[in-house]
Structure 1
Amino acid sequence: MMANQSHHTLLLMHHMKLTAAALLEETNNTINTTEANADSTGCVQIRIPQELFLTLGLISLVENILVVLAIFKNRNLHSPMYYFICCLAVSDMLVSVSNVVETMFMLLNDHGLLDVHPGMLRHLDNVIDVMICSSVVSSLSFLCTIAADRYITIFYALRYHSIMTTQRAVTIIALVWLASVASSTLFIVYHTDNAVIVCLVTFFCVALVFTAALYLHMFVLAYLHSRRIVAFRKRSRRRQATSMKGAITLTILLGVFTLCWGPFFLHLILILTCPTWPICNCFFRNFNLFLILIICNSLIDPLIYAYRSQELRKTLKELVLCSWYFGV
């Protein structure tokens, strides 16, 4: 393993210690032990330059900032669903910011431009750990929240505005962020316990099952439910079509989230089940690739928002072209 790549991998693993100290200790020890036999085992390791982490992180950060600004600027987007999407964008921003900050520290340190004190590095790691863990928990929570919101929109369309009020949406958002930060702090305090990995993996699986079950129920019964509103005016039918479009959008978001975060959670599962097996060691050696996928999730989400929402796409275009500033 090249020295630069090894240094980057070790720092990134330490960056994710909140999900398991074993990832830093047990996995790295295993990798170091088997490194001499890497060629004989046929393990393929994809080397990823630090500059790529920085570039993707910056692009993702800019994209998600634009999404937040667009939702804030356009009053037509001031609804519970877009509030939740805004929070999802903020969750993605946490990943981007933590990646950019850490990668910049590593690049400056590698080029001898920055001498990081060990105490300062520990404090930086703790802050980044909170951001990453909060991003995981809040992203999953808001995906579940958006799924529930779409479910209510479709099956309780006439009562939606009385059920999902702005006040309730704000309360839900506050509770999710409070729970995310609190759980992240606990995970850092007890990061040496394998129970942290079990909790994260369990939460990931439960959230996916819950969200998938809601979407499945929505799509299976959507046709039957649509018959009930045939007697209503076109406005009601348009509302139903819009709600289904929103459900499809969030289904795409859930699929992308699963594809991008899935390998990382599989990594955590393998740490618990087969930390010393050769085939698992091959999987561990490509940890940087899994981190790139996580960053790509933050980069892809804003593109999905813009593609699926004409109103949001229009506002984003205005922001990018600065037409709001020049009055065009």
Structure 2
Amino acid sequence: MNTMEPSLSIDYMDNVTLNVTSSDMNMTGIAQIMIPQELFLMLGLISLVENILVVVAIIKNRNLHSPMYYFICCLAVSDMLVSVSNVVETMFMLLTDHGLLSVTARMLRHLDNVIDIMICSSVVSSLSFLCTIAADRYITIFYALRYHSIMTTQRAVTIIVIVWLTSITSSSLFIIYHTDNAVIACLVTFFGVTLVFTAVLYLHMFILAHVHSKRIMALDKNRRQATSMKGAITLTILLGVFIICWGPFFLHLILILTCPTNPYCKCYFSHFNLFLILIICNSLIDPLIYAYRSQELRKTLKEIVLCSWCFVM
């Protein structure tokens, strides 16, 4: 993922007619921004530990056994895919650079394909679960009395299985046909459609909240809606962070399709390693948002960390 040449690690850069290599940058007087491998490794390890803690906390605390937290747990697993792929690739690169590991070109290609599938699965599943959580919050607010009959545990599990199967299958197909510009177009389109879908749901929810804030309502109903809106606000923050962290990368893909040889686009391509850092930061920031917004999750995380610390001591 953090290779010298711009690639996803998905080899979109190498194989989609654009081929913006370091030599191309030098010919146009543009120097590619280099970031120490150790920084990638450190951020990857921190985000991996954070997301593992989130998953363990949700599994451990029965009060968090609800559809929304199941989806958040899956979102954390999606972030873990980015972290794991980053750590594995960086470790391979560091070991190879220091002469501690010898690998063949075929082995590197297989490793690259596996990492590509993991990263692509991460972005597809993350977007899907963000949409799913938005729909879950929407049902909570607009169909509060029927929520538990609509969003049952069985349905939540079915949705999770479908999302993961779809993510892995589509990601595998993306890697197989990575030389086709249509693959990038599909990924960018999916990004746009999911953002629009989620934005429409949130807009409707917040308009409702604004209207109801001006009315006199029963206390219990106010509390129920306040809790639901808190969940919606949390997911709004998650969505905003996702757009900030992944947005530059998707703009990168759009420029590959529209202006691969333009000097200004090549200048943008030279910042690719920074985009990769942002992607890893998304996996690092999400667990902090979960903990900050959920008192129950924050309490469980503290217990896990303290127990782990006592066990080590």
> Could you state the TM-score of these two structures normalised by the residue count of structure 2?
0.94
In structure 1, the partner of 2:302 is 317
2:4 to 1, 9, 22: 9
What's the secondary structure of 2:260's corresponding residue? coil
Identity of aligned residues (%): 77
In structure 2, the partner of 1:87 is 74
Partner AA of 1:32 in structure 2: S
C-alpha separation in 1, matches of 2:94 and 2:188 = 32
2:242 to 236, 253, 257: 257
Alignment RMSD, CA only?
2.0
In structure 2, the partner of 1:210 is 197
In structure 2, the partner of 1:36 is 27
In structure 2, the partner of 1:47 is 34
Structure 1 residues 116-125 or 216-225, which shifts more? 216-225
Partner AA of 1:156 in structure 2: Y
Contact 1:57 1:100 in 2 (8 A): yes
* Structure 2: runs of 5+ lacking an equivalent: none
C-alpha separation in 1, matches of 2:123 and 2:34 = 25
Partner AA of 2:98 in structure 1: H
What's the secondary structure of 1:135's corresponding residue? helix
**Does the C-alpha gap of structure 1 residues 34 and 131 become closer, same or farther in structure 2, counting only changes over 3 Å?**
closer
Q: Deviations over 1:9-59 (max 9, x none)?
A: 22x626222x56546x62325x52341341xxxx56532110000000000
What's the secondary structure of 2:4's corresponding residue? helix
Contact 1:140 1:207 in 2 (8 A): yes
C-alpha separation in 2, matches of 1:22 and 1:213 = 36
**Does the C-alpha gap of structure 1 residues 170 and 103 become closer, same or farther in structure 2, counting only changes over 3 Å?**
same
Contact 1:94 1:131 in 2 (8 A): yes
1:246-325 to structure 2, matched below 5 A, reads: 246-322=231-307
Q: Deviations over 1:177-233 (max 9, x none)?
A: 0000110111111111000000000000000010011001100112335678813xx
Residue 133 (1) aligns with residue 125 (2): no
1:179 to 163, 166, 176: 166
Contact 2:61 2:300 in 1 (8 A): yes
* Structure 1: runs of 5+ lacking an equivalent: 1-6
Contact 1:61 1:97 in 2 (8 A): yes
Contact 2:245 2:279 in 1 (8 A): yes
In structure 2, the partner of 1:168 is 155
What's the secondary structure of 2:19's corresponding residue? helix
**Does the C-alpha gap of structure 1 residues 223 and 36 become closer, same or farther in structure 2, counting only changes over 3 Å?**
closer
**Does the C-alpha gap of structure 1 residues 165 and 20 become closer, same or farther in structure 2, counting only changes over 3 Å?**
farther
